[in-house]
Structure 1
Amino acid sequence: MQVTLMKGRIDLASVTEADLHSEGSISIDRALLDAAGFLINERVQIYNIETGARFATYVIEAPRWSGTIDLNGAAARLAMTGDKITIVAYASFDEAEAKIFKPRVVRVDRENRIPPD
C-alpha cells in the first residue's frame, strides 16, 4: 500500500510577482527550493492564505537568495503581489517509509528569506 504525505512546505511566502503573460508555473528562489527539497518541474500545491484559493502548478528555479516567489501564466490569476501563500509538495511512500519520514518545513520572513535560527 502507498500513502501520500507532505514531502516539503514553504510557509507564508509573499508573492513577489504575478505575471499572466509568462510561462505557467511558480518561480521559487533556489535557496528555498533546496531547503524545502523541491525539484525543478515538480508539481506543487499552492494555498493562498489571503483568498483561500488552492491550485497546482510546477516549479521553476529563480536565482538563489533573490527572495523570488513569482506566479506565472494562469496561476497569476489566483494570487496578487503581496499575497501570503503556502507551497506544498507531496510524495508517495510505502507504509514503512511513511512511519519514519520527516518532511522539510521552511518558514520565511517578509522578504522570503530563511531567518537565522
Structure 2
Amino acid sequence: MIIELLKSKIHRVKVTQAELNYVGSITIDEDLLDAANIIPNEKVQIVNNNNGERFETYAIKGERGTGTVCLNGATARKVQVGDILIIMSFGSLPMEEAKKYKPILVFPDDNNRLLK
C-alpha cells in the first residue's frame, strides 16, 4: 500500500504581499524553500491561521534572504498582508517506508527568516 504523508512544513510564516493581478501561485523566499526541501512548481497546501482558509497552489522561488511570502492570483483573496500561514507539501511512500519517514519542519522567525 502507498500512503500520502507530510513531506515538509513551513510553520507560521507571515504574508508579506498579495498580488491579485498575477497568474497564480505562492512566492516563497528561496531560503525557506531550500530549508523545507520544497522545489519550484511543487504543489503546496496552505492553511491561513487568521481566517481558517485552506487551499492548494504551487510554489515559486522568491528572492533569497528577503522573507518574501506572496500569494498571487486568486489566492490573494484568501489572505491579508500580515496573516500567519502554514505551508505544507506531501509525498507518497510505501507503508513501511512511511512509518520511518520524518518530515522536514521549518520554524522561521517573525520576519520569515531562518533561525540561526
TM-score calculated relative to the size of structure 2: 0.98
**Aligned residue identity for 1:14:** K
Q: Distance in 2 between matches of 1:92 and 1:21?
A: 33
Deviations 1:1-51 (A, max 9, x none): 111110000000000001100120000000100100101100000000000
Query: 1:63 maps to which residue?
Result: 63
Query: 1:20 maps to which residue?
Result: 20
Deviations 1:54-75 (A, max 9, x none): 0000000001111000000001
Query: 1:31 maps to which residue?
Result: 31
SS in structure 2 of the partner of residue 70 of structure 1: strand
Counting aligned pairs with the same residue, the percent is 45
Q: Distance in 1 between matches of 2:74 and 2:2?
A: 31
List, as ranges, runs of 4+ consecutive aligned residues in structure 1 with deviation greater than 4 Å. Answer: none
> What value does the CA root-mean-square deviation take over the aligned residues?
0.6
Q: Distance in 2 between matches of 1:31 and 1:97?
A: 28
Q: Distance in 2 between matches of 1:3 and 1:37?
A: 19
Structure 1: stretches of 5+ with no match in the other structure: none
